[in-house]
Amino acid sequence: MSVGAAKIPVVVTEAVEVNSLIKRFRFVREDGGQMPGFSGGAHTVVEMDDAGTRRLNPYSLMSDPGDRSGYEISVRRDDTGRGGSAYMHREVRPGMKMLISPPVNLFGLDLRAKKHLMIAGGIGITPFLAQMAQLDAMGARFELHYAARDRELGAYMPELSARYGDRVHRYYDAEGQAIDLTTLLAGQPLGTHLYVCGPKGMIGWVLKTAADLGWPAGAVHSEEFLAPPVGQPFTVELAVSGKTITVGAAQSLLEAIEAAGVDAPYLCRGGACGQCETHVIACEGEIEHNDHWLTDDQKAGCRHIMPCVSRFKGAKLVLER
Amino acid sequence: MSKTDFGPSIKSRPVYGVLSPRPGSSHLIVADGEGGAAVEALFAQAPEMKAKAHLIYIPGANGTDMSTAMAALGAGQYNRAPTYASVRSRIVKVLGDGHMGLQVYATGTESLMGQVQRDAMEAGLPHDAVQTEHRGSLARRVQCVHCKGITENVTTDPFVCSHCGLNLFVRDHYSRRLAAFQGVNIDAEDPGEVPPAEERFK
């Protein structure tokens, strides 16, 4: 059970190769109606039936929030991942019917800001595409700093520069270019909000630099969806439903709970939103906490687990589910 | 946590902390009345911040005046002002010209801290980016919810609105946007039946 409305039946109308790693997909409603409205930074969870394995992956909506005729996402292929992005690249083509969730925004703009400063790394550009369209329509002040490995992998860079001009700053790792973050952050007018989306290392660098320069936590926003890591299979007892399940090596605990027919809450499936938080009744072993949600104290306490991304090693794990 | 014990209240009621030095490119410090002592404590913790500090001090409405001590603290820039209203345009200008990394500190009465917070919010800072520490008088800045007039330094409950003359009950219901507690007519149904005023906010 995800929170909120029912899944939306959609038809894929476009599957376009953007570069050697990224494909863009467009979905419209099967019944021809309008998509639910969304705000920049929102994501949808795409349901995949991969040869009998049900996959649910979150992807940021990149299309203009003002356009309710369809949703667009961009998917970066991860060849070492569990297979969701590979499935999107390999199997999804125009005409195919799929199910997607209504939009959820965990990375919204703070519209009280005087200025919006966005920092993107690689595929982390996607939520900003929607946010910039929203801000541009509002006449709000924004600036994008977007780093990619090289010109080929800098998805949408020329289009962004053409549309937003000198509000877009591009950086290519391969050409030795890097964001001069300290100068950039120190020079921002009071009332600026900072947004960062990209690889883990980049997010950590931006958050730490901002904190060191005295940026208040409430003016700094980040989003990183984690893919559930692969690991060793383990066994879990579900106390409320009275079931004992085995979580496969490439399966997440949440997916194993769902596969056993047990209704469990979720929203982002990427360790960010907190919706799937589950009480641990007994734990003889070690929980591998992989989420961004629980505090360090909670992680050390072994009383809570986020089944979407976390795993377990040990003799016995009993959950209140 | 605040050194002043305000007793149990509703969630709307502001809570205050203790000023502590934060990393930053510059520091705007606004204090009134007994708040001067919190500024002394702040500078004692981090003397190196003085050079980058702009200190604004307003003597208390209750007569407490630490101006001489404040002027001698060694802040990079020091201004004394008779009231918040008289110095507000300066504060708005400092905030408007400021860059991210500017730290804002407010200490003294709730009226002073609330107005600094309001002006920082209007400049685009999150409300919780302003550090606060309560010192001195508990007098409140109250908005009459009927005529919208604001009465400063309210010490009794109920009190008479200085604008429309209604008898107002002072609530803990607080507005960050207005930087004021809400005052509601206490004898609307039975005009003239007003409980005796008590000095609740000395």
**What number is the ipTM of this complex?**
0.91
Pairwise CA distance, residues A290 & A58, whole Å = 16
The predicted pLDDT at position A219 comes to 97
Range A16-43 average pLDDT: 97
Per-residue model confidence as pLDDT tens digits over B122-148: 999 999 999 999 999 999 999 999 999
DSSP state letters, A270-309: SSSS-TT-EEEEEEEEEEE---SSS-HHHHHHTSEE-TTT
- Tell me which residues of chain B have a C-beta less than 8 Å from any C-beta of chain A: 22-25, 95-96, 98-103, 121, 123-129
Binned at pLDDT 50, 70 and 90, residue A174 comes out as very high
> Could you tell me if B62 and B51 are in contact, meaning their C-beta atoms sit under 8 angstroms apart?
no
Higher-pLDDT residue of B99, A302? B99
Instruction: Looking at B49-126, list the stretches that DSSP marks H as alpha helix, in order from N- to C-terminal side.
Output: 67-71, 84-97, 110-122
Which pLDDT value is given to residue A108?
96
CA distance B36 to chain A (A): 24
Judged by phi (left if over 0) then psi (alpha if -120 to 50, else beta), residue A27 lies in beta
Report the percentage of chain A scoring pLDDT > 70: 98
Residue with tokens 């929980």: A287
pLDDT tens digits, one per residue of A131-169: 999 999 999 999 999 999 999 999 999 999 999 999 999
What is the four-CA torsion angle of A133, A138, A139, A143, rounded to 10 degrees? -40
Between the alpha carbon of residue A311 and those of residues A129, A147, A236, A251, B13, the distances in Å are 33, 32, 10, 10, 42
What angle in degrees, to the nearest 10, is found between the helix axes of B110-122 and B84-97? 30
**Per-position DSSP letters for A4-58, written without gaps between them:** SSPPEEEEEEEEEE-SSSEEEEEEEETTS-PPPP--TTEEEEEEEEETTEEEEEE
Q: What's the pTM value of the predicted model, to 2 decimals?
A: 0.90
Domains of chain B, by residue range, sit at: 26-134, 140-199
CA-CA distance, A141 to A159, in Å (whole number)? 19
Across the range A179-204, mean pLDDT stands at: 97
Copy the structure tokens of residue B164.
Answer: 């429309």
Partner-chain contact B123 A186, CB within 8 Å:
no
Ordered domains of chain A (ranges, CATH) = 8-105 (2.40.30.10), 115-223 (3.40.50.80), 234-319 (3.10.20.30)
Whole-Å CA distances, A43 to A103, A106, B132? 5, 8, 37
The confidence score (pLDDT) of residue B2 equals: 67
Q: Which tens digits make up the pLDDT trace of A47-87?
A: 999 888 888 899 999 999 999 999 999 999 998 888 899 99
Question: In whole angstroms, what separates CA A212 from the centre of its chain?
Answer: 26
Instruction: For residue A255, give the DSSP letter.
Output: H
Separation of alpha carbons B103 and B115, rounded Å: 16
Q: Which residues contact A246 (CB under 8 A, 6 or more apart)?
A: A233, A234, A235, A236, A256
Handedness of CA A27, A30, A33, A37 (dihedral sign): negative
Q: Answer whether A219 sits within 8 Å of B96, measured CB to CB.
A: no
Task: Give the minimum alpha-carbon distance from B126 to chain A in angstroms, rounded to a whole number.
Answer: 6
The verdict on a CB contact (< 8 Å) between B23 and A187 is no
Q: Which fold has domain B26-134?
A: Rossmann fold (3.40.50)
Q: What pLDDT sits at residue A51?
A: 85
- Using a CB–CB cut-off of 8 Å, the residues of A that contact B are 110, 112-115, 185-194, 212-216, 218-219
pLDDT in tens, A287-296: 999 998 999 9
Residue B1 has pLDDT above 60, yes or no: no
pLDDT confidence tier of residue A1, bands split at 50, 70 and 90: very low
